Amino acid sequence: MKLEGKTAVVTGGSRGIGRAVCIELAQRGANVVFCYASGEEAARETLSLCDAGRAAGDTGKTCMARCDVAKAEDVKALMDFAGKTFGRIDILVNNAGVTRDGLLMKMKEEDFDRVIAVNLKGAFLCMKEVSRLMMKQRYGRIVNVSSVVGLHGNAGQMNYAASKAGVIGMTKSMAKELGSRQITVNAVAPGFIDTDMTAGLSEEYVKKMTEAIPAGRIGSARDVAQAVAFLASDLAGYITGQVLLVDGGMGM
């Protein structure tokens, strides 16, 4: 799964799964351009971890930029920067995501809109920007980060579930649109992963969730990153339009 000479753009790389993806791709030799929303300090840490993880003699580079994926002008600037710096974009990982949980009766309209704007529209904007370049290159690997919640739903996460189900629909549609240009588009659907996003959950809830996972443990960001690296590699060249569950068997 070597990625030398490839350039990857990863959204939401400052923390959690996105950070692990950046490190995984850098370890395999890719140039990595990642963005963050506001966590500059955390982003700098990701940058150092990527550089520290590179093999001796690896000439790959890591760059970071601030970008709100819900804003078209930010996304354009990010992709222009990556394209101009490295001449091509081979891999796009749409990872940036947020939650604004609440039961339907209590969910504010802005909580619905923001989750859709970041998780769903953000992925749309990023794919739209890179697809032109990837079509010209006749090569591309797009990996969208969905969730098991997008497949099964979850009480209190109607907005999030809608965004993640939408990501799956977009993934399959884009796979059909871009397939003939040697561009694959796949999704990963993580289960319960240990990151800031799940850090606020009660001990009791975490225990109950863990008991329902056949693998008997909560997933790590690296578990997801390794699956993303596979789908981003040449080993997965004939896999497209798929949703790979990275959930320890939870979603069976």
In the complex, the residues that contact ligand NAP under the rule CB under 6 A are 11-18, 35-39, 42, 67-70, 95-98, 118, 145, 147, 190, 192-193, 195-198
Least distance CB 20 / ligand NAP (angstroms): 8
45 vs 177, beta carbon nearer ligand NAP: 45
Which residue from 152, 138, 146 is spatially nearest to 184, judged by alpha carbons?
138
For residue 73, give every residue at least 6 positions away whose Cβ sits within 8 Å of its Cβ, in sequence order, or none: none
238 is catalytic: no
Smaller CB distance to ligand NAP: residue 139 or 157?
Answer: 157
Of the pair 13, 83, the CB lying nearest ligand NAP is at 13
Instruction: Write down the least CB distance from residue 19 to ligand NAP, Å.
Output: 7
The continuous run of DSSP H or E covering 166 comes out as helix 158-178
Please provide the size of the chain in residues.
Answer: 252
- Tokens encoding 143: 């990996």
CA-based torsion, 24, 26, 28, 31: positive or negative: positive
Tokens for 188, please give them. Answer: 């990963």
Q: Among the options 36, 139, 160, 238, which is catalytic?
A: 160
Nearest to 198 by CA among 181, 214, 221: 221
Query: Which of 18, 140 has the CB closer to ligand NAP?
Result: 18
Catalytic residue positions, numbered:
160
